Amino acid sequence: MSSDDRSIGAILLDAGKLSLADAERILQYQKQEGCRFGQAGIQLGLLTEADCKQALATQFDFSYLVPGEGRISSDLVAAYEPNHRATEWFRALRSQLLLRWFGSEQNRRALAIVSPRSNEGRTYLAANLAVVFSQLGERTLLIDADFRKSRIAEMFGMKDALGLSSILAGREDTQVIQPIAGLDRLYVLPAGIVPPNPQELLERSGFDGLLKHLAEDFDVILIDTPPGADHADAHTVAAAAGAAVMLTRQHHTRLEEARVLREKLRGTQAELVGSVLTGF
């Protein structure tokens, strides 16, 4: 039985939010008062509004997390707050990317997230964007290709011992990709051990071949990168992906640095799908 065939009560039982005895109490009260199951549970003090909202989300095949549960960072606003203003912004960006890149041709699965400098929000954008793509029903992979200052593993509460660097060095295979509990269809490939030669590892290890292989299993592949003005890694990743979105931050990014990065991306023949200006 699929989750959307189950009642709210069955979903809450399976999630461990209710005991059988409490479910019986709610059913009796529901029949007596003529109200909904969730409303009855809240009135009896056996359920919270958050419990009911999450069960309803499960019914509609929409995954999100309850604050305080799990090890995922609160920076992942799209994972915790589906009605937040920022989450709506990520959904709007998702729609643009579906129209401009992912939805146009079947072989367009990968996209690099780049920006000129540090502290411009690349990781924040990539991680939240991955969440909203997975919530749409797309089988989504988030790759941390920032070997300079990786943060994806920390954001998702993961161990970062094995990851992309291990695959590129030929010591591991794609089994190091990890599903994210509570967020269906979302998978993460952390950076792994920081290599002494990030640029050389990306260039000579067949990273583009790895992406083509992963595109057979995933609908959307988003790749976090190091600062493009400081490291050529971002250009290599964008070239392998075939496309990039350039992120700039209001009152932080210098116009000339953004222009230079745009020209360097054009030199790799990666398609610049668009530019995003944020105030984050």
Do 119 and 225 share a domain, yes or no?
Answer: yes
Do 190 and 99 share a domain, yes or no?
Answer: yes
Q: Is residue 45 part of a domain?
A: yes
The tens digit of pLDDT for each residue in 224-247 reads 999 998 888 999 999 999 999 999
CATH code at position 170: 3.40.50.300
pLDDT top residue among 17 and 85: 85
Pairwise CA distance, residues 56 & 51, whole Å:
9
Do 51 and 99 share a domain, yes or no?
Answer: no
Contact 263, 232 (CB under 8 A): no
Contact 237, 145 (CB under 8 A): yes
Do 26 and 113 share a domain, yes or no?
Answer: no
The tens digit of pLDDT for each residue in 117-134 reads 999 999 999 999 999 999
In the prediction, which pLDDT does 36 show? 87
Q: Which of 59, 86, 101 is the last residue of a domain?
A: 59
Find where tokens 């606003």 sit.
77
Distance set, CA 153 to CA 11, 112, 234 (Å): 30, 18, 19
Do 115 and 242 share a domain, yes or no?
Answer: yes
Q: Is residue 70 part of a domain?
A: no
Starting at the edge strand found earlier in the chain, the sheet holding 110-114 runs 178-179, 186-189, 140-144, 220-224, 110-114, 243-249, 271-278
pLDDT at 223 over 70: yes
Do 200 and 82 share a domain, yes or no?
Answer: yes
In the prediction, which pLDDT does 272 show? 94
The tens digit of pLDDT for each residue in 126-179 reads 999 999 999 999 999 999 999 999 999 999 999 877 899 999 998 889 999 999
Do 19 and 152 share a domain, yes or no?
Answer: no
Q: Is residue 66 part of a domain?
A: no
Q: Is residue 87 part of a domain?
A: yes
Tell me which residue of 70, 128, 71 sits closest to 280, measured CA to CA: 128
Query: How many domains is the chain partitioned into structurally?
Result: 2
In the prediction, which pLDDT does 3 show? 44
The tens digit of pLDDT for each residue in 94-105 reads 999 998 899 766
Do 54 and 82 share a domain, yes or no?
Answer: no
Average pLDDT score over the chain? 89
In the prediction, which pLDDT does 152 show? 96
Name the pTM for this structure. 0.82
Domain of residue 85 covers 77-278
Q: Is residue 54 part of a domain?
A: yes
Q: Is residue 146 part of a domain?
A: yes
In the prediction, which pLDDT does 159 show? 80
Do 150 and 31 share a domain, yes or no?
Answer: no
What is the average pLDDT across 5-27? Answer: 85
Q: Is residue 195 part of a domain?
A: yes
Q: Is residue 67 part of a domain?
A: no
Do 110 and 230 share a domain, yes or no?
Answer: yes
pLDDT at 26 over 80: yes
In the prediction, which pLDDT does 76 show? 95
Do 37 and 86 share a domain, yes or no?
Answer: no
What is the average pLDDT across 193-208? Answer: 86
Do 17 and 139 share a domain, yes or no?
Answer: no
In the prediction, which pLDDT does 177 show? 96
Pairwise CA distance, residues 279 & 241, whole Å:
26
Q: What SS3 class is residue 224?
A: strand
The tens digit of pLDDT for each residue in 1-12 reads 344 457 888 888
